Structure 1
């Protein structure tokens, strides 16, 4: 029962830490580090929550989570599995419910992840096919395909074998040449660093818990950090002011909606304001000490959480 209590503490602590991270100011200075922190908190929360339920439910085995699961599988394979008694060990209704809930939560998260992945792949495949029919190349706009649409839009469509940056005719008319180059650099940063895969676990959480406002809030926080990461990468190739002006133009022109499965240069108005302010008023990078502290804490959190699954109590 000790491992169940400790895993519960970690699960609750992850929620508290996520709320604090959402309000913290340092992620603006270190978006890459902040994304890693979000990933560690999300993964540790899932592992600790499932682990706490299993540790409580399998406590009669007195072998911890991993040992208890192994014993449970062995009893199930030998047909010695009963609702109230497993291999001579008494299980209460609360413990049976905890095990069922743990397996249910695991299935929910896994199915949410797989469903999100399959949906994104199918949507992108259809969109790639559609772009092959209606989009075209332009020698004056290298690195992007042009979509003859009057509304301003700029987005990238990731893929395993083929990835594309799409710029609408409306965006070409609206943006200056330098601003257009900055936007294309931003979208290529998304593709190179596969930001779509970073967002996938968080989008699967949205699918698993569609009516939980907290999950939507945290997803938006990670999405904004990913845009900042792409902004920083583009800023190494182009002037940050060029990208900021492009974002302002998108924000004031009423850009088109983002196609499903794509990552766009400008989506939400408040987020655009935050990014423009960051580009025009650099706040400096996160200190080396702070970076080491955050990454070290994330590593300790994961090691501790997984280690408690082996605690035989």
Structure 2
């Protein structure tokens, strides 16, 4: 019961208190890529610790001293383990099925979201083939629309879309800066992070971690794309382009350079925060990767 209490507390802390602390961290906007890893690490940690907490809460006495391996062996899921004693009871089986359901729920949501996104983007690409004009000069598809907008359709056959209004509003340097931003989304496969966070939010809609992770990662992905674009383009050019396309509407599931958070991003581009220390990013990534391992080390070995 002590292990179950510790794991439950760990899951509760990860799902409720930790997200608010992370959202207020000053280093988030300094290292957006590492911050995204931190949010994903918290999500995985919640699922792992929650599943193990459910298992230990339902665990019955005959298998307590054999740990998770002992119960799986008794249920016929693992061979050669340390199972002994009475055959598994319905509660023992629930101790396996309930944690499995907790893990499979976001996985099922991710599968459904990914499949629907694939169909939606395929329809959007088919529409672009009818109304758009390829531009080899910019590596994009030009669409007639008076409102300046630049966005990308990620996926297996990615497209970058530029409206005719954006062509008139942006200089060549500004346009290439914002195109580099969209290219960063495509090459970084940012749509996969969007899908993963959306699946987690759908699986646990009332969890503070799910809501904050979805809000924060959307902005952090845009900042990460900004940083990639700034490697080869002036800050003033990217900020001006962001200003011009800020009001542009993007299709569902597309990733645009404008939209919500544009003001915060423009300020960050023009007045960049201090760069994090060299050890900061590796430390964040290492901590985020290790966080899900702690409940595993606590729960999965034989218990005294």
TM range (shorter): 0.7 to 0.9
2:43 equivalent to 1:47: no
Aligned equivalent of 2:257, options 254, 265, 268:
265
1:26 counterpart SS class: coil
How far apart in 2 are the matches of 1:48 and 1:118?
28
Q: What is the count of residue pairs matched by the alignment? A: 294
How far apart in 1 are the matches of 2:241 and 2:46?
38
Q: Is the 8 A contact 2:19 2:212 kept in 1?
A: no
The equivalent residue for 2:67 is 64
Q: Is the 8 A contact 1:59 1:68 kept in 2?
A: no
The equivalent residue for 2:130 is 133
TM-score (norm 1): 0.85
Return 189-198 or 61-70, whichever deviates more: 61-70
How far apart in 2 are the matches of 1:29 and 1:167?
29
The equivalent residue for 2:104 is 107
Aligned equivalent of 2:210, options 211, 215, 236:
215
The equivalent residue for 1:12 is 12
The equivalent residue for 1:236 is 231
Residues 9/288 of structure 1: CA separation in 2 closer, same or farther (3 Å cut):
farther
What is the aligned-residue RMSD (CA, Å)? 2.4
How far apart in 1 are the matches of 2:69 and 2:174?
55
How far apart in 2 are the matches of 1:74 and 1:97?
14
How far apart in 2 are the matches of 1:113 and 1:199?
10
Q: Is there any run of 5+ residues in structure 1 with no aligned partner, and where?
A: 76-85
The equivalent residue for 2:140 is 144
Aligned equivalent of 2:172, options 163, 171, 177:
177
TM-score (norm 2): 0.87
How far apart are 1:17 and its partner, in Å?
A: 2.1
2:113 equivalent to 1:116: yes
Residues 245/311 of structure 1: CA separation in 2 closer, same or farther (3 Å cut):
same
How far apart are 1:2 and its partner, in Å?
A: 4.1
How far apart are 1:301 and its partner, in Å?
A: 1.4
How far apart in 2 are the matches of 1:70 and 1:171?
63
Q: Is the 8 A contact 1:53 1:101 kept in 2?
A: yes
How far apart in 2 are the matches of 1:126 and 1:73?
46
The equivalent residue for 1:276 is 266
Residues 101/88 of structure 1: CA separation in 2 closer, same or farther (3 Å cut):
closer
Q: Is there any run of 5+ residues in structure 2 with no aligned partner, and where?
A: 79-84
